[in-house]
């Protein structure tokens, strides 16, 4: 935790990297222990709500379980991808737990789960009739039910964005593959766990080649899993591997995996976990940004925009139009020469998972400095501390402060009377020692504003901003003194107020620091 406005040795733009591999191993281990330990009581712990519709196609009432994403808020109007799960009788909790884990760890966006309970799985999942199974051969009707009745109902009733994944195991995995061949536009991703490709003398293997060669829908994904050894051969999965290598078009992204030391039942867990990750390539939770995010440019004095994460799949425009796959790649560092509305987008195979960010840049002269006010002394800005419960920044000018002081070496958020439900107003004059561009950056909970010479440069909402990413602003300043004002409030949760800047000599290293106390001028009490 940085002391507000004080110098530090670390930068907002270069936070300590997290060992994601170690975190994921720990998360997966914990998940396995919890899930396997709860298998015996899953029936009593099925999440979500049961719903149903009458199917004119199947001539019966069909039941399904709907699990809304963790943290779902109807007032937000946010929409979600949907995972359709076959064999919902025993797969609902498994897929719900896997989705929640991956969503919370930022490996996939949170999804709605629609888990379909069985009436006659042999009838619904098997694409052909065979005398060995009297009710087999109704997969076409079940797929028609999904297409014309269930999916439209879900899209109308729940906050679905229209992008779908289909998960099935065993006969369900066979149906998943059949669905890709028959209705490739219906789902974006198809996950077939240990599919029964042996059914009816390997009939699905005969269907695949002609269907794949005419597959016209782009950006579809197929993830097929099996059990290493005889299990793969028993299910005829190696034959499917050969067919996909020969006939799969470039528009189909596919992967086939054999898991060691798994049974036909346990293979579902890894299939769901890896299959959902496969369904969201290049997904990054937490957003994509560039720095500076907004600002003022001098004529004939270009600036650099930088993004410290992987930009391989990031495209951008400078005219305010939405980037496409054919737009220029946004690199680690990009030169901006004039006014622009910059939009960047990280492209994925799932458009609903694309992330974007925009910033506005205008031309300006140097912001003129002023003279040092009477009674101002170096050593720290002034602050006023307030108490109250707010959902947004209040008007501090009409409130009475509980405490006042200076932002000196003795100041710290942890030393304030309250840890939640408080606010700060900070003001004074900033001494600028050389002409040039200055970048101001903030990382805060829950809301923050920054004024320079009564001009609002940063208006940051960490309370309602979703995946809040901080804020930064670049401005050309002259040698002299500038009035500054910061406003901050903390409602609940972890308090944080990191305000730093980049001076002209530090742009090459992209290193932000706290403003030295010697450059902070305030009034001594």
Domain boundaries, the chain: 43-278, 294-363, 376-523
The reply to whether the predicted model has a pTM over 0.85 is no
- Among residues 315, 319, 314, which one has the least CA distance to residue 340? 319
Cα separation, 355 vs 289, in Å, equals 9
Domain 376-523 in CATH 2.60.120.260? The answer is yes
Written as six digits, the tokens of 515 are: 């403003």
Written as six digits, the tokens of 471 are: 């804020």
Centroid of chain to Cα 205: 37
pLDDT at 461: 83
Judge residue 346's burial from the number of C-beta atoms within 10 Å of its C-beta, 0-12 exposed, 13-18 middle, 19 or more buried: buried
Top-level class of domain 43-278: alpha beta
Tell which CATH architecture fits domain 294-363. Sandwich (2.60)
- Strand 160-169 versus strand 80-85 pairing type: parallel
pLDDT at 137: 92
pLDDT at 333: 93
Written as six digits, the tokens of 300 are: 């004939």
Give yes or no for a contact between 487 and 448, defined as CB atoms under 8 angstroms apart: yes
Could you give phi then psi for residue 258, rounded to 5 degrees? -110, 120
Which residues fall within 8 angstroms of residue 459, CB to CB, at 6 or more apart?
449, 471
Give the pLDDT of the chain (525 residues) as one tens digit per residue: 233 443 344 455 554 334 444 444 444 444 544 444 444 444 447 788 999 999 999 999 999 999 999 888 888 889 999 999 999 999 999 999 999 999 999 899 999 999 999 999 999 999 999 999 999 999 999 999 999 999 999 999 999 999 999 999 999 999 999 999 999 999 999 999 999 999 999 999 999 999 999 988 888 999 999 999 999 999 999 999 999 999 999 999 999 999 999 999 999 999 999 999 999 987 877 678 999 999 999 999 999 999 878 888 899 999 999 999 999 999 999 999 999 999 999 988 887 788 899 999 999 999 999 999 999 999 999 999 999 999 899 999 999 999 999 999 999 998 999 999 999 999 999 999 999 999 999 988 788 999 999 999 999 987 644 454 689 999 999 999 999 999 999 988 777 889 999 999 999 888 899 999 999 999 987
pLDDT at 38: 45
- Annotate 145-182 with DSSP letters as a single string: HIIIIIHHHHHHHS-EEEEEEEEEETHHHHHHHHHHHH
Cα separation, 115 vs 96, in Å, equals 9
């Amino acid at each position: 935790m940085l002391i507000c406005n004080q110098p530090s040795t670390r930068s907002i733009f270069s936070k300590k990297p997290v060992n994601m591999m170690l975190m994921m191993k720990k998360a997966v281990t914990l998940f396995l222990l919890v899930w396997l330990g709860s298998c015996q009581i899953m029936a009593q712990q099925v999440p979500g709500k049961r719903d149903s519709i009458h199917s004119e196609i199947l001539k019966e009432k069909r039941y399904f379980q709907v699990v809304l994403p963790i943290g779902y808020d109807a007032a937000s109007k946010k929409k979600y991808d949907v995972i359709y799960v076959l064999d919902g009788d025993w797969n609902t909790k498994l897929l719900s737990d896997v989705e929640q884990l991956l969503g919370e760890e930022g490996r996939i966006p949170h999804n709605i789960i629609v888990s379909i309970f069985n009436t006659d799985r042999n009838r619904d999942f098997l694409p052909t009739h065979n005398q060995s199974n009297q009710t087999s051969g109704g997969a076409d009707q079940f797929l028609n039910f999904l297409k014309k009745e269930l999916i439209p109902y879900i899209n109308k009733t729940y906050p679905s964005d229209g992008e779908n994944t289909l998960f099935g195991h065993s006969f369900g995995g066979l149906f998943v593959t059949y669905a890709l061949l028959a209705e490739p536009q219906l789902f974006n991703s198809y996950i077939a766990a240990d599919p029964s490709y042996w059914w009816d003398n390997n009939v699905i293997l005969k269907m695949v080649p002609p269907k794949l060669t005419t597959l016209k829908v782009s950006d579809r994904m197929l993830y097929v899993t099996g059990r290493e050894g005889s299990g793969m051969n028993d299910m005829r999965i190696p034959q499917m591997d050969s067919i996909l290598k020969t006939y799969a078009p470039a528009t189909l992204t596919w992967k086939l995996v054999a898991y060691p030391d798994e049974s036909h039942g346990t293979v579902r867990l890894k299939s769901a976990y890896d299959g959902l990750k496969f369904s969201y390539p290049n997904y990054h939770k937490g957003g994509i940004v560039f720095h500076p995010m907004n600002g003022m440019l001098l004529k004939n004095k270009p600036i650099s925009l930088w993004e410290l994460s992987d930009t391989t799949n990031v495209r951008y425009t400078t005219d305010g139009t939405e980037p496409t796959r054919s737009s220029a790649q946004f690199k680690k560092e990009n030169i901006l020469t004039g006014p622009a509305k910059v939009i960047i987008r990280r492209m994925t195979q799932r458009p609903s998972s694309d992330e974007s960010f925009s910033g506005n840049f205008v031309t300006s002269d140097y912001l003129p400095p002023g003279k040092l006010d009477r009674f101002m002394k170096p050593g720290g800005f002034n602050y006023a501390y307030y108490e109250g419960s707010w959902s947004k920044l209040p008007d501090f000018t009409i409130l009475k402060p509980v405490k006042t002081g200076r932002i000196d070496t003795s100041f710290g958020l942890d030393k304030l009377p309250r840890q939640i439900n408080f606010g700060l107003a900070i003001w004074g004059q900033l001494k600028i020692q050389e002409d040039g561009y200055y970048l101001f950056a903030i990382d805060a909970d829950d809301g923050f504003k920054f004024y320079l010479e009564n001009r609002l440069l940063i208006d940051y909402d960490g309370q309602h901003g979703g995946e809040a990413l901080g804020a930064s602003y670049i401005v050309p300043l002259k040698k002299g003194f500038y009035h500054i004002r910061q406003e901050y409030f903390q409602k609940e949760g972890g308090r944080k107020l990191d305000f730093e800047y980049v001076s002209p000599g530090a742009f090459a290293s992209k290193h932000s620091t706290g403003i030295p106390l010697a450059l902070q001028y305030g009034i001594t009490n």
